[in-house]
Amino acid sequence: MFEKKLKKYNIIIIDKDDLFKNLLFTKLTNKLPYNVYMFSKLDEFNTFIENVRQIHKDVNILIIDGTKISESSKLHQFNTEINQLNNKLKNYHVLLLTEDEKKNNFSQLKNIASTIKKNENAAIIIENQINFIISKDKLSASKKIFFKLLYITIGLLIIILSIFILNYVIY
């Protein structure tokens, strides 16, 4: 009767550091049953988006290395590149890897789910953040279903009450 639509989750790693990228890829593919894609530059990812149509419908979690963008000119360019994703993707979350945990340099950036210090514990923190984002997304989907069922129930109650009132008035 009701078919559950399974959402696809894509985890996209954009980092020039191949060692860290492979570490994340191994950790995430062993524990999470989602698609994991790796890119060295944001431009490569933009090309990928244009060629793969299905990715627009999925929930995308981008893990981007932001350790080299502390200068304001690079920060502004990075911000415009991230904002351009709004036109290409419907549902995405950005996890930004930084040199420090403070958001001081990145306070003007929008659409950043969290900043994570790039160190030996980053892979565990990223995994936890991904699980949190997916749980939050599933919870909001459950809320939508709940409210749809609530509206249907209220509508049916109004119809049944109307029928009883009409029957009472007629007889």
CA atoms in the 13 A half-sphere facing the CB of 105: 21
Q: What are phi and psi of 95, to 5 degrees?
A: -105, 115
The model's pTM is 0.73
Does position 157 have pLDDT exceeding 90, yes or no? yes
What is the enclosing helix (H) or strand (E) of 159?
helix 122-170
- Name the average pLDDT for the chain: 79
Per-residue pLDDT of 82-119, as tens digits, reads 777 777 777 788 888 887 665 555 655 656 777 788 88
Fold for 9-140, please state it. Rossmann fold (3.40.50)
Domain ranges of the chain: 9-140
pLDDT at 148: 93
Per-residue pLDDT of 4-54, as tens digits, reads 444 578 888 888 888 888 888 888 888 767 888 888 888 888 888 877 766
- Letter string b/e over residues 53-74, b meaning 16 or more CB atoms within 10 A of that residue's CB: eebeebbbbbbbbbbebeeeee
* 129 vs 148: CA distance, rounded Å: 29
The DSSP letter of residue 150 is: H
Does position 73 have pLDDT exceeding 80, yes or no? no
